Structures are given as C-alpha cells and as structure tokens.
Structure 1
Amino acid sequence: MGGEVAVELKLLGVAAILGLVQLLWSAAAARRQQNLKWAAGPRDTPMPITGVAARLHRAFWNFAETFPFFAAGVLGCAAAGRLGGDLTVWGAGLYVAGRALYAPLYASGVPLARTLVWFVSMIGLVMLLVALVR
C-alpha cells in the first residue's frame, strides 16, 4: 500500500512546518510587547509591535504570501506525474532552503543577504511552476 513519498511532497511538509514555526515565533515575539490581556481580548484597539517582533511578523506574512503558490506547484506536479525531475526537486529544495533562512536573516536585520535568500526561494518556486506548465 505504501510507496516512497516523493521528495517534493516531503519538502511541502517541511515548508508547512516552517510556516507553523514562523507563526509561533512571530506570535511569541509580539506577546513580549503586547500584554496577554490585550491578546486574549477582542483587539479592538491596535497595539503596534516594533523591532524584531515586527520583522518576524513581516517575515511570516511574506512566507504566507508565497506558500500557496509553492503548495499549488508541488501538488499540481504530483497530479500531473511530473515529480522527480531536476526542476521539481531542485526548485522545491531551493524554495524550502530559502524560506528556512529568510526569517532568521530578517529578524536579525540583515538587509542584503535577506533579499538574496528571498530571491533564491523565488527562483526555486519559478522552477517548480515551469516544470508544471512545460
């Protein structure tokens, strides 16, 4: 019944875990600036965050913007029987590696390296999508 799971599907799972870790990391950093009473309430009055907490929040939402495209690419390639090629394996690997490095770099305030790592993840995403439509 069980065959080997394609590396791209495993990387999809790793990316989902990365997203969850980033969400929790961002929330924990924000709670250090926002009191728990405010966080547990209706949040009608905004309570802005700054510094590392704000950078982690932006990094998470940057992940959230790209992850659906990655998931669609991996699942589309799986449905089309296109997993296992160089474009899909390397593309998924570059995306996940880039996303894993992006949040810590952003939290640290490293501007150029963060942008280059983001670009690497986008190259991986494009490779995956090219494999789907070619």
Structure 2
Amino acid sequence: MRAPSPEGCFVTTELCMLLWSVVLGLVQIALAASCSFGQRGLDWIVSARDEVKPPLVGIGGRLDRARANFLETFPLFAAAVLAAHVLQQHDQLTVLGAQLYFWARVLYVPVYAAGIPYLRSLTWAVSVAGIVLLLVALA
C-alpha cells in the first residue's frame, strides 16, 4: 500500500507512518520543553545545568515522561519499519503494525497528559503490539 507524499512521489504507508512519527516526536519535545520553560524559568533553561534538575510537576511532568517514553519505543519502531523497507516486505501486517504504533502514540500524548492510568497503559501496549506485528511480518 502506498500513500502520496507532498512531492507527488509515492512512499509506503509504513514509511509515511515513520515520517509522521518523527513529526509527533518533535511535537512532544516542544510540549515538554515549553513546560520546562514555564516551570523552571529562563535562567535555568539558559544555564550550564550543573545543578540538579528540578522535577517537572503536574501536566508538565506527565508530558515530559510521555516524551521520554516515546524516545524509548521510537528507535524500535524505526528499525522495524526500515528493515521492512530494505527487505521489501510490505503487506497488510506491516501496514497494520505501523498504523497501530503511530495512532496509539498520537493517543498516548493526551491520555498521559490527562493522567488516565489504565488507558495510558493500554495505548502503550497497542503501540508495542504494532512493533511486534512489524517484526512478525519480517519473520
């Protein structure tokens, strides 16, 4: 399955999900950074940061932890998608796996920010299941 890219050429759905996941990661970094700026202040942001980092609290802390969690799973997803691409393995299973990962990660951000514990864990599990589906398709 292929989706049109902005340039008019075509990329696989899996690569499209990978690229949108990069955008999602940048959004999460920006959200966490804005909370850091708001809670820690400009002086800390521009400092050498030699002292102990004050923890983020509330929604800022949750957004920062969601960002960190994304950074833990994204390399695994990227490796699986790139392996599928190199091996020219593109089928319903790889598409489903990539879509599950991406959309679960999109949902994960507001769910984690809102502090919804069980739904947060479920969305994380769905994203990991997406990675597993990609790997199963490669086996």
- TM-score, normalised to structure 1's length? 0.94
- The total of aligned residue pairs comes to 131
The letter for the 2-side match of 1:27 is A
What CA distance in whole angstroms lies between the structure 2 residues aligned with 1:65 and 1:51?
Answer: 21
Instruction: Give the corresponding residue for 1:62.
Output: 69
Classify the secondary structure of the residue corresponding to 2:14: helix
What CA distance in whole angstroms lies between the structure 1 residues aligned with 2:55 and 2:101?
Answer: 30
Is the strand fraction higher in 1 or 2? 2
What CA distance in whole angstroms lies between the structure 2 residues aligned with 1:3 and 1:64?
Answer: 29
The alpha-carbon deviation at position 10 of structure 1 amounts to 0.5
Instruction: Give the corresponding residue for 2:88.
Output: 81
The alpha-carbon deviation at position 43 of structure 1 amounts to 1.0
1:115 to 102, 121, 129: 121
Which segments of structure 1 move beyond 3 Å, counting only runs of 4 or more?
A: none
Which sections of structure 2, spanning at least 5 residues, go unmatched?
Answer: 1-7
1:1-134 equivalences in 2 (<5 Å):
3-45=9-51, 46-83=53-90, 85-132=91-138, 134=139
Identical-residue share of aligned pairs (%): 46
The Cα offsets for residues 32-52 of structure 1, whole Å up to 9 and x where unpaired, read as: 110111110111122221111
The letter for the 1-side match of 2:95 is V
Which sections of structure 1, spanning at least 5 residues, go unmatched?
Answer: none
Classify the secondary structure of the residue corresponding to 1:71: helix
Cα RMSD for the two superposed structures = 1.1
What CA distance in whole angstroms lies between the structure 2 residues aligned with 1:117 and 1:47?
Answer: 29
